[in-house]
């Protein structure tokens, strides 16, 4: 009796449908501009937001989000993962360009022309089933480097993704376990809650949230990001939305909010900060790296908006609505640094 093979299932995703089609077929088809705009609208522009944006602000945000998706979804990185790929454990050195490429520090994906050369040298490419398994495993996707002729030190993740707790030699959010435990105790005392809700603004794959969840399993973790990767960390709620359009349902929801590096990329850092403040519960606390030095707006607009954000903090603190601790410097007249906020009262709408 002939046994029929079960067809491989396409993984569910929000924005990576064409990538997974490419993995299954071996041929990557990019999104058209019209498809990208439709994806932006149906993913990021749905429902009521915590802070209203003007028509002009929404249109500008649409443009930048479409450009971001063009770069990530249609870029060379994901395209190469649909074609020939070799997975090389770190203990194995392949017989291809071993003088140029180094594999001793982590596992590697060999892609592009170098993958074709490796196949010609007798290496076995990954099959579709193996690709599906490895691409969806965040512990593999996060730690495995991409190796081709132009790079040998990039991980598979497209944007910065970091662990939450300090680790020797690894870039992180900078928290020691002792410091975070102290923050948690303070927030629990003020809110009267043992089971806290935490949001990471710009958390990419949710790696930081997952690490917190592994040590605080009773916490509810939310990762707010515009980036979807093939592998996203489990046990985390992933909300695909820009911080500037945080849904109204999150008003006074989060007891803790964190953010590392991401703020500098936000299109409207002032609106993102206002949304964060609205989303904090009474007694809640935010620990964020604030800035705008890589904001895509013209420099004068960035300066205006970042100073507007600081003015908002000054006003709310004077009214007793929040308390802040700030460690700021000026970068070409753009305030940036570290910001700790405690919320005492509800913000005016």
Mean pLDDT across the stretch 224-238? Answer: 97
What's the whole-model pTM score?
0.92
Give the residue, 322 or 120, on which the prediction is more confident. Answer: 322
The β-bridge relationship of strands 280-290 and 322-331 is: unpaired
- Per-residue tokens: 11: 């993984």
Specify the pLDDT at position 254: 98
Cα separation, 11 vs 129, in Å, equals: 12
Which ranges in the chain are annotated with CATH 3.40.50.150? 177-343
Specify the pLDDT at position 123: 86
Topology of domain 177-343 in CATH is Rossmann fold (3.40.50)
Specify the pLDDT at position 91: 73
Cβ contacts of 167 within 8 Å, gap of 6 or more = none
Buried b vs exposed e over 54-64: b needs ≥16 C-beta within 10 Å?
eeebbebbbeb
Buried b vs exposed e over 109-134: b needs ≥16 C-beta within 10 Å?
bbbbebbebbeeeebebbeeeebbeb
What are the C-alpha distances in Å from 337 to residues 198, 289, 330, 331?
21, 6, 9, 10
Mean pLDDT across the stretch 160-187? Answer: 93
Question: 3-state class of 127 per DSSP?
Answer: coil
Q: How confident is the model at residue 93 (pLDDT cuts 50, 70, 90)?
A: low
Q: How confident is the model at residue 88 (pLDDT cuts 50, 70, 90)?
A: confident
Beta-sheet strand order (sheet of 334-343): 237-240, 220-225, 197-201, 254-259, 280-290, 334-343, 322-331
Which residues are registered as beta bridge partners of 324?
Answer: 341
Give the CA angle between residues 175, 106, 215 to the nearest 5°. 30
Cα atoms in the Cβ-side hemisphere of radius 13 Å centred on 243: 29
């Amino acid at each position: 009796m002939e046994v029929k093979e079960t067809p491989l299932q396409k993984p569910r995703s929000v924005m990576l449908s064409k990538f997974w089609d490419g993995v299954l077929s071996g041929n990557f088809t990019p999104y058209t501009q019209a498809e990208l705009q439709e994806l932006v609208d149906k993913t990021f522009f749905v429902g009521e937001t915590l802070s209203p944006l003007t028509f002009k602000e929404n249109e500008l945000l649409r443009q930048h989000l479409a450009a971001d998706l063009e770069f990530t979804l249609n870029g060379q990185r994901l395209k190469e993962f649909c074609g020939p790929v070799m997975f090389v454990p770190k203990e194995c050195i392949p017989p291809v360009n071993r003088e140029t490429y180094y594999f001793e520090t982590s596992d590697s994906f060999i892609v592009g022309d170098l993958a074709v050369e490796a196949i010609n040298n007798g290496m076995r490419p990954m099959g579709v089933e193996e690709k599906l398994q490895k691409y969806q495993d965040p512990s593999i996707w996060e730690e495995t480097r991409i190796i081709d002729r132009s790079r040998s030190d990039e991980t598979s993740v497209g944007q910065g993704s970091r662990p939450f707790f300090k680790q020797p030699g690894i870039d992180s959010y900078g928290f020691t376990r002792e410091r975070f435990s102290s923050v948690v105790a303070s927030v629990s005392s003020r809110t009267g809650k043992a089971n806290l809700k935490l949001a990471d603004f710009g958390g990419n794959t949710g790696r930081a949230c997952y690490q917190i969840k592994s040590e605080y399993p009773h916490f509810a973790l939310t990762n707010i990001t515009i980036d979807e990767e093939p592998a996203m960390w489990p046990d985390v709620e992933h909300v695909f939305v820009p911080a500037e359009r945080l849904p109204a349902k999150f008003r006074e929801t989060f007891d803790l909010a964190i953010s590392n590096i991401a703020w500098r990329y936000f299109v409207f850092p002032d609106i993102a900060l206002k949304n964060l403040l609205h989303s904090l519960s009474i007694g809640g606390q935010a620990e964020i790296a604030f800035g705008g030095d890589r904001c895509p707006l013209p420099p004068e607009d960035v300066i205006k908006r970042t100073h507007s954000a600081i003015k908002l903090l000054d006003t709310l603190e004077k009214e007793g609505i929040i308390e802040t601790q700030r460690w700021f410097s000026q970068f070409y007249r753009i305030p940036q640094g570290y910001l700790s906020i405690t919320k005492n009262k509800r913000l005016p709408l």
